[in-house]
A and B are shown apart, each in its own frame.
Chain A
Amino acid sequence: GVLAYLEMLETQAHQEAVEQEKREQQKEKLAMLKARVRKLRLQRDKLREKVDLQEKQQPGKEGVVPDPAHPIAPRDVVEWRIRNLQALLQLFYLTGISGKPTRRGVCFSLSTAYEGTYLDSYHLELCTNPQVQILRHSIPVFIPLEQISKKYLQTDIRRFLSLLSDHLNAYAGRRHQAEQLEEHFSDQIEGALQRNSLYNLLIFNYNIPRNAQTFPFQARLLYGDPCCSLPTEVTVSCTPDAPASLVETAASHSEMFRCVALHKAFQS
Protein backbone atom coordinates (compact mmCIF):
# COMPACT_ATOMS: atom_id res chain seq x y z
CA GLY A 1 0.00 0.00 0.00
CA VAL A 2 1.09 3.48 0.83
CA LEU A 3 3.94 2.47 3.12
CA ALA A 4 5.46 0.28 0.44
CA TYR A 5 5.12 3.09 -2.04
CA LEU A 6 6.81 5.56 0.33
CA GLU A 7 9.61 3.07 0.96
CA MET A 8 10.11 2.73 -2.76
CA LEU A 9 10.31 6.49 -3.20
CA GLU A 10 12.83 6.68 -0.35
CA THR A 11 15.07 4.02 -1.85
CA GLN A 12 14.81 5.72 -5.23
CA ALA A 13 15.81 9.08 -3.75
CA HIS A 14 18.65 7.41 -1.88
CA GLN A 15 19.91 5.72 -5.00
CA GLU A 16 19.73 8.96 -6.91
CA ALA A 17 21.74 10.73 -4.23
CA VAL A 18 24.38 8.00 -4.35
CA GLU A 19 24.57 8.26 -8.12
CA GLN A 20 24.81 12.04 -7.92
CA GLU A 21 27.68 11.76 -5.45
CA LYS A 22 29.44 9.29 -7.72
CA ARG A 23 29.12 11.64 -10.67
CA GLU A 24 30.54 14.52 -8.64
CA GLN A 25 33.48 12.42 -7.46
CA GLN A 26 34.14 11.40 -11.02
CA LYS A 27 34.08 15.04 -12.13
CA GLU A 28 36.50 15.98 -9.38
CA LYS A 29 38.82 13.15 -10.27
CA LEU A 30 38.77 14.12 -13.92
CA ALA A 31 39.51 17.74 -13.05
CA MET A 32 42.46 16.67 -10.87
CA LEU A 33 43.86 14.44 -13.58
CA LYS A 34 43.50 17.20 -16.14
CA ALA A 35 45.35 19.64 -13.88
CA ARG A 36 48.13 17.14 -13.27
CA VAL A 37 48.53 16.49 -16.97
CA ARG A 38 48.80 20.20 -17.59
CA LYS A 39 51.41 20.62 -14.85
CA LEU A 40 53.49 17.70 -16.13
CA ARG A 41 53.29 18.92 -19.70
CA LEU A 42 54.65 22.28 -18.56
CA GLN A 43 57.46 20.62 -16.63
CA ARG A 44 58.30 18.43 -19.59
CA ASP A 45 58.33 21.34 -22.01
CA LYS A 46 60.63 23.35 -19.75
CA LEU A 47 63.02 20.42 -19.55
CA ARG A 48 62.95 19.95 -23.30
CA GLU A 49 63.91 23.60 -23.70
CA LYS A 50 66.77 23.19 -21.25
CA VAL A 51 68.08 20.11 -23.02
CA ASP A 52 67.76 21.75 -26.46
CA LEU A 53 69.70 24.75 -25.19
CA GLN A 54 72.39 22.43 -23.88
CA GLU A 55 72.68 20.70 -27.22
CA LYS A 56 72.88 24.01 -29.10
CA GLN A 57 75.66 25.21 -26.84
CA GLN A 58 77.79 22.27 -27.95
CA PRO A 59 80.46 22.90 -25.37
CA GLY A 60 83.98 22.45 -26.56
CA LYS A 61 86.86 20.84 -24.78
CA GLU A 62 87.06 23.59 -22.19
CA GLY A 63 83.59 22.79 -21.03
CA VAL A 64 80.63 25.03 -20.45
CA VAL A 65 81.73 28.65 -20.65
CA PRO A 66 80.46 30.40 -17.54
CA ASP A 67 77.83 32.94 -18.44
CA PRO A 68 78.22 36.01 -16.23
CA ALA A 69 74.53 36.75 -16.61
CA HIS A 70 73.62 33.35 -15.15
CA PRO A 71 76.21 32.45 -12.53
CA ILE A 72 75.98 28.90 -11.33
CA ALA A 73 74.48 28.69 -7.88
CA PRO A 74 76.73 27.37 -5.09
CA ARG A 75 74.21 24.64 -4.43
CA ASP A 76 74.52 23.40 -8.00
CA VAL A 77 78.28 23.25 -7.67
CA VAL A 78 77.97 21.24 -4.49
CA GLU A 79 75.53 18.87 -6.14
CA TRP A 80 77.83 18.54 -9.14
CA ARG A 81 80.72 17.64 -6.88
CA ILE A 82 78.61 15.07 -5.08
CA ARG A 83 77.70 13.36 -8.34
CA ASN A 84 81.31 13.56 -9.46
CA LEU A 85 82.51 11.85 -6.27
CA GLN A 86 79.84 9.18 -6.47
CA ALA A 87 80.93 8.30 -10.00
CA LEU A 88 84.58 8.06 -8.96
CA LEU A 89 83.71 5.83 -6.03
CA GLN A 90 81.75 3.54 -8.35
CA LEU A 91 84.84 3.19 -10.50
CA PHE A 92 86.68 1.55 -7.64
CA TYR A 93 84.20 -1.26 -7.88
CA LEU A 94 85.53 -1.96 -11.37
CA THR A 95 89.08 -2.21 -10.04
CA GLY A 96 88.23 -5.22 -7.91
CA ILE A 97 88.89 -3.80 -4.47
CA SER A 98 86.70 -1.14 -3.04
CA GLY A 99 85.87 -0.12 0.49
CA LYS A 100 84.43 2.35 2.89
CA PRO A 101 85.64 3.41 6.31
CA THR A 102 83.13 2.59 9.03
CA ARG A 103 82.85 3.49 12.68
CA ARG A 104 84.78 0.43 13.75
CA GLY A 105 87.17 0.06 10.85
CA VAL A 106 86.61 -0.63 7.19
CA CYS A 107 84.15 -2.50 5.05
CA PHE A 108 85.75 -3.93 1.91
CA SER A 109 84.05 -5.13 -1.27
CA LEU A 110 85.85 -7.56 -3.52
CA SER A 111 84.40 -7.78 -7.00
CA THR A 112 84.97 -10.66 -9.37
CA ALA A 113 84.92 -10.86 -13.12
CA TYR A 114 85.58 -13.30 -15.91
CA GLU A 115 87.16 -11.41 -18.77
CA GLY A 116 84.74 -8.56 -19.43
CA THR A 117 81.81 -9.83 -17.41
CA TYR A 118 81.53 -8.75 -13.80
CA LEU A 119 80.19 -11.47 -11.55
CA ASP A 120 79.38 -11.63 -7.84
CA SER A 121 81.01 -9.40 -5.27
CA TYR A 122 81.95 -10.36 -1.75
CA HIS A 123 82.23 -8.30 1.40
CA LEU A 124 84.34 -8.19 4.52
CA GLU A 125 83.91 -5.96 7.50
CA LEU A 126 87.11 -5.42 9.42
CA CYS A 127 87.67 -3.72 12.71
CA THR A 128 91.06 -2.22 13.31
CA ASN A 129 91.16 -1.84 17.09
CA PRO A 130 92.96 -3.30 18.94
CA GLN A 131 94.08 -5.65 16.18
CA VAL A 132 92.80 -6.22 12.72
CA GLN A 133 89.90 -8.65 12.94
CA ILE A 134 87.22 -9.82 10.60
CA LEU A 135 83.83 -8.94 12.04
CA ARG A 136 81.60 -10.19 9.25
CA HIS A 137 82.06 -11.47 5.75
CA SER A 138 80.26 -13.05 2.83
CA ILE A 139 83.15 -15.20 1.63
CA PRO A 140 82.03 -18.72 0.75
CA VAL A 141 83.14 -21.39 3.16
CA PHE A 142 85.25 -23.30 0.66
CA ILE A 143 87.62 -20.37 0.13
CA PRO A 144 90.56 -20.71 2.58
CA LEU A 145 89.86 -17.42 4.34
CA GLU A 146 91.28 -18.48 7.68
CA GLN A 147 94.50 -19.70 6.13
CA ILE A 148 95.02 -16.44 4.23
CA SER A 149 94.08 -14.34 7.28
CA LYS A 150 96.55 -16.14 9.49
CA LYS A 151 99.32 -15.38 7.06
CA TYR A 152 98.65 -11.79 6.08
CA LEU A 153 95.79 -10.11 7.90
CA GLN A 154 97.92 -8.62 10.68
CA THR A 155 101.00 -7.82 8.66
CA ASP A 156 99.94 -6.81 5.18
CA ILE A 157 96.27 -6.05 4.58
CA ARG A 158 96.80 -5.21 0.93
CA ARG A 159 98.41 -8.56 0.29
CA PHE A 160 95.65 -10.27 2.23
CA LEU A 161 92.97 -8.64 0.08
CA SER A 162 94.89 -9.20 -3.12
CA LEU A 163 95.31 -12.91 -2.45
CA LEU A 164 91.70 -13.26 -1.39
CA SER A 165 90.68 -11.49 -4.60
CA ASP A 166 92.75 -13.96 -6.64
CA HIS A 167 91.04 -16.95 -5.00
CA LEU A 168 87.59 -15.45 -5.43
CA ASN A 169 88.17 -14.42 -9.04
CA ALA A 170 89.50 -17.85 -10.00
CA TYR A 171 86.53 -19.55 -8.33
CA ALA A 172 84.10 -17.15 -10.03
CA GLY A 173 85.84 -17.78 -13.37
CA ARG A 174 85.63 -21.55 -13.07
CA ARG A 175 82.00 -21.36 -12.04
CA HIS A 176 81.20 -19.01 -14.91
CA GLN A 177 82.80 -21.39 -17.44
CA ALA A 178 80.82 -24.35 -16.11
CA GLU A 179 77.60 -22.36 -16.08
CA GLN A 180 78.17 -21.13 -19.62
CA LEU A 181 78.86 -24.70 -20.71
CA GLU A 182 75.62 -25.91 -19.17
CA GLU A 183 73.67 -23.01 -20.59
CA HIS A 184 74.87 -23.11 -24.18
CA PHE A 185 75.94 -26.70 -24.77
CA SER A 186 73.51 -28.74 -22.70
CA ASP A 187 72.60 -30.87 -25.70
CA GLN A 188 76.17 -32.09 -25.98
CA ILE A 189 76.44 -33.08 -22.34
CA GLU A 190 74.89 -36.11 -20.75
CA GLY A 191 72.83 -34.90 -17.85
CA ALA A 192 74.39 -32.33 -15.58
CA LEU A 193 78.02 -31.56 -14.79
CA GLN A 194 79.33 -33.26 -11.70
CA ARG A 195 81.29 -30.81 -9.66
CA ASN A 196 82.34 -29.78 -6.17
CA SER A 197 81.48 -26.48 -4.46
CA LEU A 198 84.79 -24.91 -5.29
CA TYR A 199 84.33 -25.83 -8.95
CA ASN A 200 87.79 -27.25 -9.14
CA LEU A 201 86.77 -30.75 -10.05
CA LEU A 202 84.47 -31.28 -13.02
CA ILE A 203 83.32 -34.56 -14.50
CA PHE A 204 80.99 -34.95 -17.43
CA ASN A 205 80.20 -37.12 -20.44
CA TYR A 206 79.86 -35.45 -23.80
CA ASN A 207 79.77 -35.84 -27.54
CA ILE A 208 80.83 -33.53 -30.39
CA PRO A 209 78.02 -33.64 -32.91
CA ARG A 210 75.06 -32.10 -31.23
CA ASN A 211 71.98 -34.01 -30.24
CA ALA A 212 73.72 -37.33 -30.58
CA GLN A 213 72.33 -40.37 -28.85
CA THR A 214 75.47 -41.49 -27.07
CA PHE A 215 78.15 -39.68 -25.14
CA PRO A 216 81.35 -41.58 -25.75
CA PHE A 217 83.72 -39.08 -24.14
CA GLN A 218 84.24 -38.71 -20.47
CA ALA A 219 86.14 -35.67 -19.27
CA ARG A 220 87.65 -35.15 -15.88
CA LEU A 221 89.10 -31.71 -15.17
CA LEU A 222 91.07 -31.00 -12.06
CA TYR A 223 91.98 -27.42 -11.24
CA GLY A 224 94.93 -27.86 -8.93
CA ASP A 225 95.74 -24.20 -8.54
CA PRO A 226 92.96 -22.46 -6.60
CA CYS A 227 94.00 -19.12 -8.07
CA CYS A 228 93.77 -20.30 -11.64
CA SER A 229 90.73 -20.73 -13.85
CA LEU A 230 92.34 -23.26 -16.17
CA PRO A 231 92.72 -26.92 -15.19
CA THR A 232 96.06 -28.40 -14.22
CA GLU A 233 95.08 -31.95 -15.01
CA VAL A 234 92.74 -33.16 -17.74
CA THR A 235 91.75 -36.67 -18.61
CA VAL A 236 89.45 -37.39 -21.54
CA SER A 237 88.65 -41.04 -21.93
CA CYS A 238 86.49 -43.09 -24.24
CA THR A 239 84.46 -46.21 -23.71
CA PRO A 240 86.71 -49.31 -23.97
CA ASP A 241 85.26 -50.44 -27.32
CA ALA A 242 85.76 -47.06 -29.01
CA PRO A 243 87.50 -46.89 -32.41
CA ALA A 244 91.06 -45.53 -32.61
CA SER A 245 89.96 -42.28 -34.26
CA LEU A 246 87.84 -41.43 -31.25
CA VAL A 247 90.72 -42.14 -28.92
CA GLU A 248 92.87 -39.74 -30.91
CA THR A 249 90.18 -37.07 -30.74
CA ALA A 250 89.95 -37.57 -27.00
CA ALA A 251 93.66 -36.88 -26.66
CA SER A 252 93.43 -33.64 -28.65
CA HIS A 253 90.45 -32.53 -26.58
CA SER A 254 92.44 -33.22 -23.50
CA GLU A 255 95.10 -30.81 -24.68
CA MET A 256 92.55 -28.19 -25.62
CA PHE A 257 90.77 -28.23 -22.26
CA ARG A 258 94.06 -27.55 -20.59
CA CYS A 259 94.68 -24.34 -22.55
CA VAL A 260 91.30 -22.99 -23.52
CA ALA A 261 88.38 -21.94 -21.34
CA LEU A 262 85.81 -24.68 -21.12
CA HIS A 263 82.88 -22.97 -22.82
CA LYS A 264 85.14 -21.58 -25.53
CA ALA A 265 86.57 -25.02 -26.20
CA PHE A 266 83.10 -26.27 -26.94
CA GLN A 267 82.47 -23.34 -29.24
CA SER A 268 85.21 -24.35 -31.61
Chain B
Amino acid sequence: MEKNICQVYEAEIQALEEEIKVLTEKYEEIQQEYTSFSDEEILKSIKLFQREILGENKGYKSPSNLIFQLENLETDLLFLMKFTGFQFTSHSKKTLERTGNRTVQKNRLSGKCHSLSFQLEFQLTKMQENVSSVITDLKIMMESEEGSDVSKFVSRAEECRSLLKFFRSISSYAEWHEHRRNTFLHFK
Protein backbone atom coordinates (compact mmCIF):
# COMPACT_ATOMS: atom_id res chain seq x y z
CA MET B 1 0.00 0.00 0.00
CA GLU B 2 2.79 2.41 0.93
CA LYS B 3 4.79 1.35 -2.07
CA ASN B 4 1.93 2.56 -4.22
CA ILE B 5 1.89 5.97 -2.59
CA CYS B 6 5.64 6.20 -3.17
CA GLN B 7 5.19 5.39 -6.80
CA VAL B 8 2.43 7.96 -7.15
CA TYR B 9 4.64 10.66 -5.63
CA GLU B 10 7.58 9.66 -7.79
CA ALA B 11 5.42 9.78 -10.89
CA GLU B 12 4.16 13.23 -9.95
CA ILE B 13 7.72 14.43 -9.31
CA GLN B 14 8.76 13.32 -12.75
CA ALA B 15 5.75 14.99 -14.36
CA LEU B 16 6.38 18.23 -12.45
CA GLU B 17 10.08 18.31 -13.35
CA GLU B 18 9.19 17.84 -16.99
CA GLU B 19 6.55 20.57 -16.82
CA ILE B 20 8.99 22.94 -15.13
CA LYS B 21 11.53 22.29 -17.83
CA VAL B 22 9.02 23.02 -20.60
CA LEU B 23 7.71 26.16 -18.86
CA THR B 24 11.23 27.48 -18.26
CA GLU B 25 12.15 26.98 -21.89
CA LYS B 26 8.96 28.65 -23.00
CA TYR B 27 9.51 31.62 -20.72
CA GLU B 28 13.13 32.07 -21.74
CA GLU B 29 12.28 31.77 -25.39
CA ILE B 30 9.57 34.43 -25.29
CA GLN B 31 11.81 36.61 -23.15
CA GLN B 32 14.57 36.15 -25.70
CA GLU B 33 12.37 36.88 -28.64
CA TYR B 34 10.61 39.96 -27.39
CA THR B 35 13.38 41.65 -25.50
CA SER B 36 16.05 43.49 -27.20
CA PHE B 37 18.84 45.59 -25.84
CA SER B 38 20.93 48.17 -27.55
CA ASP B 39 24.70 47.86 -27.60
CA GLU B 40 25.06 50.61 -25.01
CA GLU B 41 22.62 48.91 -22.67
CA ILE B 42 24.56 45.68 -23.04
CA LEU B 43 27.90 47.34 -22.32
CA LYS B 44 26.43 49.16 -19.34
CA SER B 45 24.99 45.93 -17.97
CA ILE B 46 28.31 44.14 -18.38
CA LYS B 47 30.05 46.84 -16.34
CA LEU B 48 27.36 46.82 -13.67
CA PHE B 49 27.43 43.06 -13.52
CA GLN B 50 31.20 42.98 -13.17
CA ARG B 51 30.97 45.45 -10.31
CA GLU B 52 28.34 43.28 -8.68
CA ILE B 53 30.58 40.25 -8.86
CA LEU B 54 33.56 42.13 -7.41
CA GLY B 55 31.35 43.33 -4.62
CA GLU B 56 30.16 39.81 -3.89
CA ASN B 57 33.61 38.33 -3.82
CA LYS B 58 34.88 41.24 -1.72
CA GLY B 59 37.90 41.88 -3.84
CA TYR B 60 38.88 38.31 -4.68
CA LYS B 61 39.75 38.45 -8.30
CA SER B 62 37.76 35.51 -9.48
CA PRO B 63 36.68 36.12 -13.06
CA SER B 64 33.02 35.64 -13.69
CA ASN B 65 32.22 32.64 -15.81
CA LEU B 66 29.42 34.52 -17.50
CA ILE B 67 31.61 37.42 -18.59
CA PHE B 68 34.25 34.98 -19.81
CA GLN B 69 31.63 33.09 -21.79
CA LEU B 70 30.24 36.34 -23.19
CA GLU B 71 33.64 37.57 -24.34
CA ASN B 72 34.46 34.26 -25.99
CA LEU B 73 31.15 34.25 -27.86
CA GLU B 74 31.66 37.85 -29.02
CA THR B 75 35.15 37.00 -30.32
CA ASP B 76 33.89 33.90 -32.10
CA LEU B 77 31.06 35.78 -33.76
CA LEU B 78 33.29 38.65 -34.84
CA PHE B 79 35.72 36.22 -36.39
CA LEU B 80 33.03 34.42 -38.36
CA MET B 81 31.44 37.63 -39.61
CA LYS B 82 34.79 38.93 -40.78
CA PHE B 83 35.83 35.66 -42.36
CA THR B 84 32.63 34.72 -44.16
CA GLY B 85 31.32 38.19 -44.94
CA PHE B 86 27.95 37.26 -43.47
CA GLN B 87 26.44 39.69 -41.00
CA PHE B 88 23.13 38.91 -39.39
CA THR B 89 21.36 42.09 -38.44
CA SER B 90 18.28 40.61 -36.84
CA HIS B 91 17.07 37.18 -35.91
CA SER B 92 13.99 35.86 -34.21
CA LYS B 93 12.79 32.34 -33.66
CA LYS B 94 9.56 30.94 -32.33
CA THR B 95 8.81 27.36 -31.40
CA LEU B 96 5.69 26.22 -33.20
CA GLU B 97 5.65 22.65 -32.07
CA ARG B 98 7.51 20.55 -29.55
CA THR B 99 6.65 16.87 -29.28
CA GLY B 100 8.98 14.21 -27.94
CA ASN B 101 12.06 14.34 -30.10
CA ARG B 102 10.77 16.81 -32.63
CA THR B 103 10.91 20.61 -32.49
CA VAL B 104 9.59 22.88 -35.21
CA GLN B 105 10.80 26.46 -35.14
CA LYS B 106 9.91 29.40 -37.28
CA ASN B 107 12.88 31.63 -37.97
CA ARG B 108 13.11 35.15 -39.31
CA LEU B 109 16.52 36.31 -40.28
CA SER B 110 17.83 39.41 -41.95
CA GLY B 111 21.39 40.11 -42.81
CA LYS B 112 23.81 40.79 -45.56
CA CYS B 113 26.71 39.17 -47.28
CA HIS B 114 29.26 41.85 -48.05
CA SER B 115 26.95 44.42 -49.63
CA LEU B 116 24.02 42.19 -50.59
CA SER B 117 21.12 42.27 -48.13
CA PHE B 118 18.58 39.56 -47.71
CA GLN B 119 15.65 38.58 -45.53
CA LEU B 120 14.70 35.02 -44.85
CA GLU B 121 11.80 33.22 -43.28
CA PHE B 122 12.00 29.50 -42.81
CA GLN B 123 10.71 26.66 -40.72
CA LEU B 124 13.30 24.41 -39.20
CA THR B 125 12.39 20.94 -37.95
CA LYS B 126 14.93 19.37 -35.63
CA MET B 127 14.98 15.71 -34.67
CA GLN B 128 16.91 15.08 -31.53
CA GLU B 129 17.98 11.58 -32.32
CA ASN B 130 19.65 11.87 -35.68
CA VAL B 131 20.82 15.40 -34.94
CA SER B 132 19.51 16.38 -38.34
CA SER B 133 17.54 19.43 -39.32
CA VAL B 134 15.15 19.82 -42.18
CA ILE B 135 14.01 23.07 -43.70
CA THR B 136 10.34 23.10 -44.55
CA ASP B 137 9.02 26.22 -46.17
CA LEU B 138 11.63 28.75 -47.19
CA LYS B 139 10.98 32.32 -48.25
CA ILE B 140 13.75 34.54 -49.50
CA MET B 141 13.42 38.27 -50.02
CA MET B 142 16.18 39.94 -51.92
CA GLU B 143 16.34 42.95 -54.14
CA SER B 144 17.19 41.87 -57.61
CA GLU B 145 16.29 42.44 -61.21
CA GLU B 146 14.04 39.97 -62.88
CA GLY B 147 15.98 37.39 -64.80
CA SER B 148 19.25 38.32 -63.13
CA ASP B 149 21.56 35.67 -61.71
CA VAL B 150 20.46 36.57 -58.22
CA SER B 151 16.76 36.18 -58.90
CA LYS B 152 17.52 32.86 -60.55
CA PHE B 153 19.29 31.29 -57.65
CA VAL B 154 16.79 32.78 -55.23
CA SER B 155 13.82 31.15 -56.94
CA ARG B 156 15.67 27.86 -57.36
CA ALA B 157 16.59 27.84 -53.69
CA GLU B 158 13.03 28.61 -52.62
CA GLU B 159 11.68 25.83 -54.82
CA CYS B 160 13.94 23.16 -53.36
CA ARG B 161 14.18 24.70 -49.89
CA SER B 162 17.96 24.61 -50.27
CA LEU B 163 18.95 27.08 -47.61
CA LEU B 164 22.56 25.97 -47.57
CA LYS B 165 22.84 26.29 -51.34
CA PHE B 166 21.37 29.77 -51.12
CA PHE B 167 23.99 30.82 -48.59
CA ARG B 168 26.82 29.32 -50.62
CA SER B 169 25.57 30.95 -53.84
CA ILE B 170 25.08 34.34 -52.29
CA SER B 171 28.53 34.11 -50.74
CA SER B 172 30.25 33.39 -54.08
CA TYR B 173 28.18 35.97 -55.87
CA ALA B 174 28.82 38.66 -53.26
CA GLU B 175 32.55 37.98 -53.28
CA TRP B 176 32.68 38.11 -57.04
CA HIS B 177 30.63 41.30 -56.97
CA GLU B 178 32.95 42.82 -54.35
CA HIS B 179 36.00 41.81 -56.33
CA ARG B 180 34.59 43.32 -59.49
CA ARG B 181 33.70 46.54 -57.71
CA ASN B 182 37.17 46.83 -56.19
CA THR B 183 38.81 46.20 -59.54
CA PHE B 184 36.58 48.81 -61.13
CA LEU B 185 37.34 51.39 -58.45
CA HIS B 186 41.01 50.64 -58.80
CA PHE B 187 40.93 51.58 -62.44
CA LYS B 188 38.82 54.66 -62.00
Contacts and interface: CB of A to CB of B under 8 A. Distances in A.
Interface of A: 26, 29-30, 33-34, 36-37, 40-41, 43-44, 47-48, 50-51, 54-55, 59, 63-64, 72, 74-75, 77-89, 91-92, 94-101, 106, 111-113, 115-119, 158, 162, 165-166, 169
Given A78-B45, A86-B73, A118-B134, A59 B34 contact: yes
A166 B17 CA distance: 45
7 contacts: A43-B20, A88-B77, A92-B80, A95-B86, A96-B164, A116-B136, A117-B135
B23 A47 contact: yes
Contacts, number: 175
Contacts of B138: 116
Question: When A and B form their complex, which 3 residue pairs have the shortest distance between CB atoms, in order from nearest?
Answer: A116-B161, A77-B45, A116-B135
A83 B29 CA distance: 10
Contacts of A85: 70, 73-74, 76-77
Contacts of A86: 73
Interface residues of B, number: 66
Per DSSP, chain B at the interface is helix
Interface of B: 2, 5-6, 9-10, 12-13, 16-17, 19-20, 23-24, 26-28, 30-32, 34-37, 41-42, 44-46, 48-49, 52, 66-67, 69-70, 73-77, 79-80, 83-84, 86, 88, 91, 93, 109, 132-136, 138, 160-165, 167-168, 171-172, 175
B32 A95 contact: no
